[in-house]
Amino acid sequence: MTDQAPAPKLPPVHEAWLPREHPLHRPRHGARQKLAVISALVFFAAPTLLYAIGVRPAEIENHPLASFPSLGDGWGFFRGFDAWATDNLSFRPAAITAADGVSRGVFGEPPTFGGQPDTGPLGTGPTPAPLPDHRPEQPGQGPAQAADVSVVEGTDGWLYLDADMKAKCEPSRPFAETLGLLKELEKAVEDSGREFVLLVAPDKSTMVPEHLPPNYPNKECSDAARTELWKQVGEAGAVDLRGELQSVAKGLGRPAYFKLDTHWTDEGAMAMVRRTAEAVRPGVTATWTTRPGAKFSIPADLPGIQGKRGNREGTLYSLRPDGTTDRTQGPRTDLSTPFHRESDPIEGTIDDPTLFLGDSFTGVSVPYLSAIFTDATVLSYLSSVERPTATINEIADHEVVVFEIVERALAVGGGTWLTADFVNRVRTELAKRPIRR
């Protein structure tokens, strides 16, 4: 039996320190590793170095810049880091502009940045149409919203939300069924002695079609569906605001919607408040006067979907219910939880406790509706998804319920909250707490 040779021992130094000719030599960092390390250092250090010399990242998507995540978030640190790195690249606007120029110049079409608008608190961004009911909600994100939201570029720089058209072509149920559920909700409220006003906020594409491009996705089916939807809205007895908004536009000599935003202007918001007040108390607007005030310019929602910046520019107004006293109040953008505004009754106001259940179109109208309704609570109807009992209690606590829903949300089916079960729960609770007038 022959003796076996002893196994070779590893050298006493790191393999990277051995001479290059040594068979065990391994470089500490190869060329690719070095490139990766340099790239990582540039990526991580760039925002800090640029900040140090005075360059600041810009808020270009209508939401605050993401803060640096905490190490205490566990694995959530990595999810938060992606948002922080994206937001805090100081040269991001220039990169987006370059990508836009290349896409249009080389490929002849606008770029797709592959994101949803950051709607922030309800009321600050567009209200996408809720997804059809067979699509699951995202855990922890509340009601499902339209995925892959994008913008339709019209003439003269006008922008439109593509969900205006898509929602009408992909409803989760027939319009008649959705309106039927809303009418059942109305009946449940009125049977308890309360007043109910159902109004539909027209889409921008409905009220300002003249700037839509000649061709765009879902054009034919959405045109046909729009006609049928408004026919059924009228038959259901809901408030149709199109006539008021057309009159406002004629008087202004321009549309009552923003060029770069999906919402109506302040003039449109006041038209909504006026029509709502007349529906609750006919003749109450006889003493009202309005007067234009300061101009404003704030970020618009549609450019942010494209990764760009743009403002909606308009005029603030004073609203005097008695013809003398300006009662216009400040805005409120977060409708995710109920907020209450109370003021002293004067001539021309409505003083019954009133609940406004609405979406972002109600949100932009808050300064004017809170000038007229002296005991008003405002809440997003989407809150009923995660907090149905709290929403039902809010309905029961008020004598007047104003329900506003944007056209595209109505067209697609209202959302996962609008069910027979929810309506039945409302009916049961209100029956326990009737209003005696």
**Cβ neighbours for 71, distance < 8 A, ≥ 6 positions apart:** 77
Neighbours of 57 (CB within 10 A): 18
d(CA 197, CA 385): 21
Neighbours of 216 (CB within 10 A): 16
Dig out the tokens for 154 from the structure. 């019209």
d(CA 433, CA 221): 44
Dig out the tokens for 366 from the structure. 């808050």
First to last CA, the chain: 112
Please compute the mean of the pLDDT values over residues 330-359 and round it to a whole number: 93
Note the pLDDT of residue 116. 46
Say what the alpha-carbon torsion angle 388, 393, 396, 401 is, to the nearest 10 degrees.
-60
d(CA 292, CA 319): 9
- Model confidence at 416, pLDDT cuts 50, 70, 90, reads confident
* φ, ψ for residue 170, nearest 5 deg: -130, 55
Least confidently predicted of 66-80, 83-97, 99-113, 334-348: 99-113
d(CA 203, CA 160): 9
Longest dimension (CA), the chain: 117
DSSP 348-395: T-B-S-EEEEE-HHHHTTHHHHHHHBSEEEEEETTHHHH-HHHHHHHH
Dig out the tokens for 308 from the structure. 């760009």
Q: Which of 375, 261, 372, 384 is nearest to 320 (CA)?
A: 372
Please write the tens of the pLDDT for every residue from 352-368. 999 999 999 999 999 99
- Model confidence at 133, pLDDT cuts 50, 70, 90, reads very low
Q: Which of 379, 344, 343 is nearest to 359 (CA)?
A: 379
Neighbours of 3 (CB within 10 A): 5
d(CA 427, CA 429): 6
Which segment, 46-55, 92-101, 248-257, 381-390, is predicted with the most confidence on average?
A: 248-257
Dig out the tokens for 424 from the structure. 């039945």
Dig out the tokens for 152 from the structure. 């339709």
**Cβ neighbours for 139, distance < 8 A, ≥ 6 positions apart:** none
Are 80 and 88 within 8 A, CB to CB?
Answer: no
Note the pLDDT of residue 144. 35
Instruction: Reply yes or no on whether the pLDDT at 181 is more than 80.
Output: yes
Instruction: Reply yes or no on whether the pLDDT at 45 is more than 60.
Output: yes
Instruction: Reply yes or no on whether the pLDDT at 323 is more than 50.
Output: yes
**Cβ neighbours for 179, distance < 8 A, ≥ 6 positions apart:** 232, 233, 236, 238, 410
179: enclosing H helix or E strand? helix 175-191
Please write the tens of the pLDDT for every residue from 146-157. 445 799 999 999
Are 420 and 140 within 8 A, CB to CB?
Answer: no
Instruction: Reply yes or no on whether the pLDDT at 350 is more than 70.
Output: yes
Instruction: Reply yes or no on whether the pLDDT at 122 is more than 50.
Output: no
